[in-house]
A and B are shown apart, each in its own frame.
Chain A
Amino acid sequence: MSTPRIRLPESASEGEEIEIRTLLTHPMITGVSSDDPRDMLTRFEARMNGETVFAYDFANGSAANPTFIFFVRAAAPGEFSFTWTHEDGQSVSAEESVRIS
């Protein structure tokens, strides 16, 4: 799978709502409308300090190159991890941290 792209601020003030953007380049081939073999992600999950803050289960209607923009309130310094899991069980992850200033 390709390298994930993540955008979030390096630092935030306590209690601030921060915007997180993620993008994974992936064709999301369902195999329904073409003879190409199925090639689909099944789940995206974002964790802050180990706790899931955002998750999405993909389905046949999910577009290629899934992009998420979501907001998280920064209560404490955050270690973020982002995981995309493929239907075949493989996954790709990225990690980022946000300081509290």
Chain B
Amino acid sequence: MTRFLTRRQFGTLVSASAATLAMPGILRAENTGRLLIIGGGFGGASAARFARINYPDVSVTLVEPQTSFVTCPYGNLILGGKRALSDITHSYDGLRARGVDVIHDRAQEIDADGHRVTLASGDVLDYDKLILSPGIGLRWNAIEGYDEAASEVFPHAWWGGDGSQISLLRAQLEALPEGGVVGLAIPDNPFRCPPGPYERISMIAHHLKQANPTAKILAFDAKEGFAKQGLFENAWAELYGDMIEWIPASGDGRIMRVDPGNKLFISEFGEEHSVDMGNVIPPQYAASIARDAGLANDSGWVPVDPRTFEAEAASDIHVIGDANIGTPMPKSGYIANSTAKTAVTAALAEMSGRPAWDDPVYFNTCYSHAGEDYGISVAATFRLSEDGIAATPDSGGVSLQGDLSEMARTRRLEARYADAWYDSITDDMFS
């Protein structure tokens, strides 16, 4: 796996000798390291690709149980009938071709002191630096009655997995009786992909508008407000009439219990809502591997150094993606992709001689499809402040608001840009 400088690179270096003196890492090419990455999603796959391109001397191993990756982003478009599962399924072959050692197994246990990870197969991997990008765990039974078995009746479809959850939700939508009721239970913050539930509502409505126009969507929310709320509510009114009803916590929208057998959602104040199908997005925390390793705090998420993403609880373990506490950055694929690169740079700084990024700047872009040719977005830029990460003032914000008659071109463009974003970021992970 070790690669040394090619002759061409070496030649370039000699001819620019003044510059090479400032780049001691290049001259220590034989000083290789072992970078282990757990989790092959937006954080982990991005880290693997970035590490192979920028640190050719470092061996990169990626552990991921799924043999192909189904993205959560664009899963909602399956519900809307605009994508098929194969469109959002990605192979690890591209990373293999770049020299990443991809192991399809489940990381079972991290020995932080011993710098080794035990896999479900019993194999043990040693590392110098660990990038942990395990994603979320679902808090089963945080909503009473919502356990793994209940998710076969009321799918969550909140992780990609093998695609079965989003496929089940789509199948239920197709089988919905005429004029039926679709219930959604949406959690309080923080959770993966803040605008995701509302794009989902939109894509369900997009499907129903054509297939089952008298159906109703009841969206029960444990919050008082949500990402891009004004834009979404405009879109819903413009495109779907009164099909969608959003019920905030103050309208008794917090779902506390579900009864999958009788297809009931039971609210905080005891109201029973009968649904024909239900999508329950339960409260979340960092995936079990991170919690079991003692990296998470009482919130269930992992506190990290905002400059390096190294876990506060263990050295040489950098935790990226939805599992960490990156507030005020959202738990988005975009942030996972960007911060993966910072984490790799920080993790390998000592070995490579290439300095860590001391003054990182990030931006997040979250696109949502609210209908046909109807894209909306929110953006924000972030940088370090004295109190950790902070949003940069006077930047970011949501798409222009206004009537569809005036905004049609903007919405159409943003739908195109959303598609390009998807292709671009998945290339940046897997190509």
Beta-carbon contact of B251 and A67 below 8 Å: no
Beta-carbon contact of A21 and B250 below 8 Å: no
Chain B residue numbers with a CB within 8 Å of A21 are 268-269
Any B CB within 8 A of the CB of A7 = yes
CA distance A25 to B249 in the complex (A): 11
Any B CB within 8 A of the CB of A53 = no
Beta-carbon contact of A7 and B250 below 8 Å: no
Interface residues contributed by chain B, number (CB under 8 Å): 7
Interface residues of A in 1-58 (CB under 8 A from B): 5-7, 21, 23, 25
- Nearest Cβ distance between residue A67 and chain B, in whole angstroms? 6
Beta-carbon contact of B250 and A67 below 8 Å: yes
Beta-carbon contact of B249 and A5 below 8 Å: no
Beta-carbon contact of B251 and A7 below 8 Å: no
Beta-carbon contact of A67 and B269 below 8 Å: no
A-B contact count (CB 8 A): 20
- Nearest Cβ distance between residue A21 and chain B, in whole angstroms? 6
Any A CB within 8 A of the CB of B294 = no
Task: Output the nearest chain A residue to B249 by Cβ-Cβ distance.
Answer: A67
Any A CB within 8 A of the CB of B128 = no
Any B CB within 8 A of the CB of A60 = no
Interface residues of B in 248-292 (CB under 8 A from A): 249-252, 268-270
Chain A residue numbers with a CB within 8 Å of B250 are 23, 25, 64-65, 67
Chain B residue numbers with a CB within 8 Å of A5 are 252, 268-269
- Nearest Cβ distance between residue B104 and chain A, in whole angstroms? 45
- Nearest Cβ distance between residue A66 and chain B, in whole angstroms? 9
Which of B249, B250, B251, B268 lies at the interface centre, i.e. has the most chain A CB atoms within 10 A of its CB?
B250
Task: Output the nearest chain A residue to B248 by Cβ-Cβ distance.
Answer: A65
Chain A residue numbers with a CB within 8 Å of B249 are 67
Task: Output the nearest chain A residue to B251 by Cβ-Cβ distance.
Answer: A25
Q: C-beta contact mask, A61-86 vs B, less than 8 Å → 1, else 0? A: 00011010000000000000000000
CA distance A21 to B250 in the complex (A): 12
Chain B residue numbers with a CB within 8 Å of A25 are 250-251
Interface residues of B in 235-256 (CB under 8 A from A): 249-252
Task: Output the nearest chain B residue to A26 by Cβ-Cβ distance.
Answer: B250
CA distance A41 to B249 in the complex (A): 20
Task: Output the nearest chain A residue to B270 by Cβ-Cβ distance.
Answer: A7
Beta-carbon contact of B251 and A6 below 8 Å: no
- Nearest Cβ distance between residue A96 and chain B, in whole angstroms? 11
- Nearest Cβ distance between residue B252 and chain A, in whole angstroms? 6
CA distance A10 to B251 in the complex (A): 23
Chain A residue numbers with a CB within 8 Å of B251 are 25, 65
CA distance A23 to B269 in the complex (A): 8
Chain A residue numbers with a CB within 8 Å of B268 are 5, 7, 21, 23
CA distance A48 to B78 in the complex (A): 53
CA distance A53 to B270 in the complex (A): 23
Chain B residue numbers with a CB within 8 Å of A23 are 250, 252, 268-269
- Nearest Cβ distance between residue A62 and chain B, in whole angstroms? 13
CA distance A67 to B251 in the complex (A): 10
Task: Output the nearest chain A residue to B250 by Cβ-Cβ distance.
Answer: A65
- Nearest Cβ distance between residue A42 and chain B, in whole angstroms? 19
**Closest A-B pairs by Cβ, 3 of them:** A65-B250, A5-B269, A7-B269
**Given A65-B250, A67-B250, 4 more contacts at CB 8 Å?**
A25-B250, A25-B251, A64-B250, A65-B251
**Interface residues, chain B, with chain A CB atoms under 8 Å away:** 249-252, 268-270
A sample of 15 cross-chain residue pairs with beta-carbon separation below 8 angstroms, ordered by A number, consists of A5-B252, A5-B268, A6-B269, A7-B269, A7-B270, A21-B268, A23-B250, A23-B252, A23-B268, A23-B269, A25-B250, A64-B250, A65-B250, A65-B251, A67-B250
